[in-house]
Structure 1
Amino acid sequence: MPVDYSGTWDIVSNVNFEKYMVALGIDFATRKIAGMLKPQKVIKQEGDCFTVKTLSTFRNYDLSFKVGEEFQEVTHGLDNRTCQTVVNWDNEKLVCVQRGEKKNRGWTHWIEGDELHLEITCENQVCKQIYKRTV
């Protein structure tokens, strides 16, 4: 049985976020606002079905998926693009591939202790984020 990702997670580290947003084509003003935010992730997992809510004081983003099933994702509130997305298990990691306008786009989530790790990739940029489970 894969690890349980369910819970509420607060960001504690956000490395290379600015360059990642530039690779996505996000405008200067939005990048400056987004760079100051402290997002929270609320994950609900039921087997291979996930709901991931990324919450902040500026914008929220909701994502629902079933592992192994490709779907059309519209990244409203992020870079507002449409892509074909699939998330698969790689041992206990969740690995997402997003095919669309931007190359080499996707993310990987995994848990180490009480930390939720997230690497998000677009083109040649990788942003590394760490979240801590809230009590």
Structure 2
Amino acid sequence: MPADYNGTWKMISNENFENYMMALGIDFPTRKVAKLLMPQKIIQQDGDNFTVRTLSTFRNYHVEFKVGEEFDEDTKGLDNRKCKGNCSTWGGGRLVWLKKKCGSENPGKWPHTSWKLELHCEDQVCKQVFKKI
């Protein structure tokens, strides 16, 4: 049985985010605003189907996917990337999300009691932690 991620999650830490955004090629003004934000994630889960909404004072964003199926992700309004994603596996209470752009993979891991994202681009790693509220 998969973990239940339904609910609202508040960001509690965001380590090395600006360097990660620089590696993605995000412009200076957007980086300065984005690093000040502490967004909330609202996750709606129905078995292996997910809708994730990211809410902040700057911009809102949403993505829908099914575990095990590749999906298109368009970050229009955030950093304007077009990516292919795949939340490929359940295991050990984690959901592994691989995001691909230009042949690179950016893994993120979602544990059950808190949501920890580990974002990779080139040699930069950003670690974000969310707690369920």
Structure 2 letter corresponding to 1:128: K
Q: Which residue of 2 aligns with 1:20?
A: 20
Structure 2 letter corresponding to 1:93: R
Q: Which residue of 2 aligns with 1:119?
A: 118
Aligned-pair distance for 1:128? 0.9
Q: Residues of 1 paired with 2:46 and 2:74: CA distance?
A: 23
Q: Which residue of 2 aligns with 1:6?
A: 6
Q: In 2, are the aligned partners of 1:104 and 1:124 still within 8 Å (CA)?
A: no
SS, match of residue 83 in structure 2: strand
Question: After superposition, what is the alpha-carbon deviation per residue over 1:72-93, rounded to whole angstroms, capped at 9, x for unaligned?
Answer: 2212122212122111124021
Structure 2: gaps spanning 5 or more residues: none
Q: Residues of 1 paired with 2:72 and 2:130: CA distance?
A: 27
Alignment of 1:1-135 (within 5 A): 1-91=1-91, 92-101=93-102, 103-112=104-113, 115-134=114-133
Q: In 1, are the aligned partners of 2:109 and 2:115 still within 8 Å (CA)?
A: no
Q: Residues of 2 paired with 1:7 and 1:77: CA distance?
A: 24
Q: Residues of 1 paired with 2:50 and 2:57: CA distance?
A: 23
Q: Give the aligned CA root-mean-square deviation in angstroms.
A: 1.5
Q: In 1, are the aligned partners of 2:2 and 2:90 still within 8 Å (CA)?
A: no
| Aligned structure 1 segments of 4 or more residues deviating by more than 3 angstroms | none
Please, what TM-score do these two structures have when normalized by structure 2? 0.91
Aligned length: 132
SS, match of residue 11 in structure 1: strand
Q: Residues of 2 paired with 1:111 and 1:117: CA distance?
A: 9
Structure 1 letter corresponding to 2:23: A
Name the % identity. 53
Aligned-pair distance for 1:123? 2.0
Structure 2 letter corresponding to 1:38: M
Question: After superposition, what is the alpha-carbon deviation per residue over 1:28-64, rounded to whole angstroms, capped at 9, x for unaligned?
Answer: 1110000111100000110000000111000111010
